[in-house]
Amino acid sequence: MLRFLSYMASLALFCLIILIVAATYGLSRINITIPDYRQLANYEPAVTTRLFAGDGQVMMEYAAEKRLFVPIEKIPDMVKNAFIAAEDKHFYSHAGIDYTGIIRAALGNLRNMGKGRRPAGASTITQQVAKNFLLSSELSYTRKLKEAVLARRINKAFTKDHVLELYLNEIYLGNRAYGVAAAAMNYFNKSLDELTLDEVAFLAALPKGPNNYNPKTKYDAAIARRNWVISRMVEDGYVSADEAAEAKERPLKVAEHKNGFLKDTEYYSEEVRRTISNNFGDEALYQGGLIVRTTVDPRLQTIATNAVRKGLIAYDKRHGWRGAETQIEIDDNYRENLKNAKLTAGDETDWQKAVVLKVNKDKAEIETDKGETGIISLSSLKWARHAEKGKNMGPVPSAVTQVLNKGDVIYVQNITKDDKDKIKSFALQQIPEVQAGMAVMDPHTGKVLALVGGFSFAKSQFNRATQAYRQTGSSFKPFVYLTALEQGYSPTDLILDAPFVLDQGEGMPKWKPVNYSKKFYGLMTLRRGVELSKNLMTVRLAQDIGMDKIVEMSKRVGINNHLPPYLSSSLGAADTRVIDMVSAYCVIVNGGKKVPPYMIERIQDRKGKTIYKHEQTPCPFCAADKWDNQDEPDFQVVREQVVDPLSAYQMTSILEGVATRGTGAKLNELHRHLAGKTGTTNETKDAWFVGFSPDLVAGVYVGFDEPESLGRYETGAASALPIFYDFMKEALKDTPDTSFRIPAGIKLVRVNPQTGKPSAPGDTVVITEALKPDFDFNNRQRVIDDDDSLVAAPEQDGSSLQIGGEY
């Protein structure tokens, strides 16, 4: 027996030596592969970049991981206490590893052995930091041993508050939220300091498995876990029993998030996103936690979006019904099939997807994907003529069956006038194929206040205001005439409106531009050439002053840096972007100063340091440490003067005439000081209107992405001007009407608009003309005709003044 005991003791000693050797070797191997924990000293997690509108509202967020970093001193004690109670009650007393917790977990695992349960862990918050930041999530003893070693080292190297800060900002809490601040916004739409006890306890319940406590799918489990956390907080002395009882009684209400971002700013936000990505890189954009202040005005953005959609829908209905995009069988599964049916994106509208259940001559019975039922009456379908090739249409429908069929999946809009009606009325709708771009700017600063890139961002992310280059048509003409005004021409000078033929050289056909009306009106004033958009007058003027000067003007105002020096360019044959045209018109109304468009006011990094600022005007006295009765800093933002201010005002006055008695005369209905110019390209493929009030410039382009005719009569006045009209009507609502600012030196003289001479008794039409101080009616009046000669102006009265004209 003694011999046996001696043998067992020797064997135990041998095993102990082997165990020590193995442990020593294992620890040395682990030490080699353990990551460097010192990187946690400079923790900079991937943080959400946020875009803010001009009024401070959140526009959009971009993130690889949705996280808002909050320093530990800014995290409320109740939040810290809840997580400590739930995850690591001895956090502030242990050395990174809770040995008592390990023994408790081990005993529990022994009791559960063979029951198929996942082994319980005893990871402290420090160990979870080690795992989340430095290790993988594999279930192995090697990883647990590494975790323990790292936890001990982290505990020695960093303060408890720093470790807790790492944990509370890094941990994943479900619903795409990383960190407690993002989770508070995602689940409750609150900041951390707004959370109640029951809400904090729910967040603290999530680290063990967010999917296991999803309040939408596992409400009872979420409530039970939340209440368990509240009980632990009572045990640890963080809250009273009465506070806990009250919190446990509260239902778990999670905020609904359809879209927490600013409405109608998708195109604007995407343009800003591209700008940041191109200049700072994707890492800064998606992980840098940038704070981006933009120039968008949410009110104007919504007005612009609504105006564009209204205009495109109106155009689309003028060209008929293209038919249902898809059909489904009306069987037992039709409701499910309706929900799954795919239509062109129309999420931004208040339309609903619906299916036709029954149809007869007078009405169609429909049901929406939301379960609403109603009818579409024949009287609401007058627009739904069959769309045919060449923008032609069939006859007005005489029966609903000519438009809709059973099983058609369509878009509808609720037009029920009285909520008490038992049967709801719906209107048939379709997503327009035509597109548009619109930009709105402050002409004095260059701020882009609104941007619309198309009918629907969900349908197409291509931005027609900033990415599309289109021929400008007659909207370019003001810069031809502005060039002439700078060269000494006057609004009262006469230009011949008659056939024009240009020999383009051997083997080339002769170029014969025509007016839209195919008519000619003889000698007319320069002003009337713009107001009535006369092509032949514009070409003659361009030839007279020289295309080289017009090319230089185009470059100066930022329309096109490489304008082809051909006479056709004077009629808008070259292309540019909407945003560039709007910026160029800013030069006209602001007195000739160049204001490049900008959308980003300031960018700050995650720590609040400004890394980009648009306005770079030097102001050495603005950075004073304190105010000591010194004068306020006096500085002026200097803008580059690119056009003579007197010539700029003359063009402003002429363009006001366009809006008063020319191709934009519809704007008269608004009874405001407005100005602008229509534009239409060959075969009516592009329609434009760019215009302004004294303090707001807006431009609209309408056309197809693959250029094709908009239709014979779809000119700038018909397609684009109504959008500008609707925008200005709402944008200027409840604001006082103001006149355009007149620079010093301009003489306002009453003249006959037909002859350009001072008004005389008997003139039936008289206008106030803006003339430069050196203009003298006693000198000969410039007349541009085919002989390019200076002759006396013919005596004419104003009775033949034409209202309207080219478009």
Residue 380 backbone phi and psi in degrees, to 5 = -90, 0
Residue ranges of alpha helices (H) inside 564-700 are: 578-589, 645-661
- In terms of Cα–Cα distance, which of 575, 573, 507 is closest to 542? 573
Q: Is 200 in contact with 79 (CB distance < 8 Å)? A: yes
Cβ-proximal residues to 383 (8 Å cutoff; 6+ apart), any chain: 317, 318, 320, 321
**What pLDDT, on the 0 to 100 scale, is given for residue 137?**
66
- In terms of Cα–Cα distance, which of 527, 510, 519, 529 is closest to 567? 510
From its phi and psi, is residue 205 left (phi > 0), alpha (psi between -120 and 50) or beta? Answer: alpha
Q: Is 665 in contact with 659 (CB distance < 8 Å)? A: yes
Residue ranges of alpha helices (H) inside 635-747 are: 645-661, 721-731
Neighbours of 804 (CB within 10 A): 14
**What pLDDT, on the 0 to 100 scale, is given for residue 795?**
36
Rounded Cα gap, residues 200 and 470, in angstroms: 55
Cβ-proximal residues to 63 (8 Å cutoff; 6+ apart), any chain: 46, 47, 48, 49, 286, 287
**What pLDDT, on the 0 to 100 scale, is given for residue 635?**
65
The pLDDT tens digits of the residues spanning 101-156 come to 666 666 665 665 555 544 555 688 888 887 777 776 666 666 677 777 887 888 88
Rounded Cα gap, residues 150 and 96, in angstroms: 9
Q: Tell me which residue has tokens 């000698």.
A: 523
Q: Return the higher-pLDDT residue of 748 and 155.
A: 748
**What pLDDT, on the 0 to 100 scale, is given for residue 99?**
75
Q: Return the higher-pLDDT residue of 119 and 362.
A: 362
Q: Return the higher-pLDDT residue of 338 and 175.
A: 338
- Catalytic residue list: 87, 474
Q: Is 222 in contact with 211 (CB distance < 8 Å)? A: no
- In terms of Cα–Cα distance, which of 539, 572, 555, 545 is closest to 690? 572
Is the pLDDT at 807 greater than 50? The verdict is no
Q: Is 739 in contact with 694 (CB distance < 8 Å)? A: yes
- What tokens appear for 242 in the block? 């009465």
Instruction: Report CA-CA distances (Å) from 48 to 137, 287, 769.
Output: 24, 6, 56
Is the pLDDT at 773 greater than 80? The verdict is yes
- In terms of Cα–Cα distance, which of 453, 477, 455 is closest to 465? 453
Q: How confident is the model at residue 373 (pLDDT cuts 50, 70, 90)?
A: very high
- In terms of Cα–Cα distance, which of 110, 85, 90, 87 is closest to 100? 90
Q: How confident is the model at residue 658 (pLDDT cuts 50, 70, 90)?
A: very high
Rg (CA), the chain: 37
The pLDDT tens digits of the residues spanning 238-274 come to 999 999 999 999 999 988 765 567 889 999 999 999 9
Q: Which amino acid is at 742?
A: I
Give CA 172 to chain center in angstroms.
29
The pLDDT tens digits of the residues spanning 342-361 come to 988 776 788 999 999 999 99
Residue 95 backbone phi and psi in degrees, to 5 = -100, 30
The pLDDT tens digits of the residues spanning 445-479 come to 999 999 999 999 989 999 999 999 999 999 999 99
Cβ-proximal residues to 375 (8 Å cutoff; 6+ apart), any chain: 363, 364, 365, 366, 423, 424, 425, 426
Cβ-proximal residues to 102 (8 Å cutoff; 6+ apart), any chain: 122
Rounded Cα gap, residues 616 and 607, in angstroms: 22
Instruction: Report CA-CA distances (Å) from 764 to 358, 751, 800.
Output: 62, 11, 10
Rounded Cα gap, residues 771 and 767, in angstroms: 12
The pLDDT tens digits of the residues spanning 703-743 come to 999 999 999 899 999 999 999 999 999 999 999 999 999 99
Buried-exposed string 176-203: b where 16+ CB fall within 10 A, e elsewhere: ebbbbbbbbbbbbeeebeebebbbbbbb
Widest pairwise Cα distance in the chain: 145
CA end-to-end span of the chain:
118
Cβ-proximal residues to 627 (8 Å cutoff; 6+ apart), any chain: none
Is the pLDDT at 626 greater than 50? The verdict is yes
Q: Is 434 in contact with 702 (CB distance < 8 Å)? A: yes
**What pLDDT, on the 0 to 100 scale, is given for residue 35?**
66
Angle 664-668-673 (CA atoms, 0-180°, nearest 5)?
Answer: 95
Mean pLDDT, the chain, rounded, equals: 87
DSSP state of 379: G
**What pLDDT, on the 0 to 100 scale, is given for residue 202?**
96
- In terms of Cα–Cα distance, which of 489, 443, 440 is closest to 730? 440
Cβ-proximal residues to 666 (8 Å cutoff; 6+ apart), any chain: 717, 721, 722, 725
**What pLDDT, on the 0 to 100 scale, is given for residue 16?**
46
**What 3-state DSSP class applies to 78?**
helix
Give CA 760 to chain center in angstroms.
54
- In terms of Cα–Cα distance, which of 294, 286, 287 is closest to 269? 294
* Helix-then-strand count for the chain, H and E: 21, 27
Beta bridge partners of 693: 696
- What tokens appear for 515 in the block? 């007016």
Is the pLDDT at 234 greater than 60? The verdict is yes
**What pLDDT, on the 0 to 100 scale, is given for residue 28?**
43
**What pLDDT, on the 0 to 100 scale, is given for residue 514?**
92
Is the pLDDT at 21 greater than 50? The verdict is no
Neighbours of 30 (CB within 10 A): 16
The region of weakest confidence among 42-46, 91-95, 380-384, 521-525 is: 42-46
Residue 718 backbone phi and psi in degrees, to 5 = -90, -35
Q: What is the mean pLDDT of residues 518-543?
A: 95
**What 3-state DSSP class applies to 773?**
coil
- In terms of Cα–Cα distance, which of 49, 73, 116 is closest to 269? 49
Burial of residue 502 (CB within 10 Å: 0-12, 13-18, 19+) is middle
Neighbours of 164 (CB within 10 A): 22
HEC per residue, 137-171: CCCCHHHHHHHHHHHHHHHHHCCHHHHHHHHHHHC
**What 3-state DSSP class applies to 496?**
strand
Is the pLDDT at 80 greater than 80? The verdict is yes
- What tokens appear for 593 in the block? 């100063």
Give CA 347 to chain center in angstroms.
15
Q: What is the mean pLDDT of residues 64-70?
A: 83
Q: Tell me which residue has tokens 């519809």.
A: 666
Q: Is 660 in contact with 802 (CB distance < 8 Å)? A: no
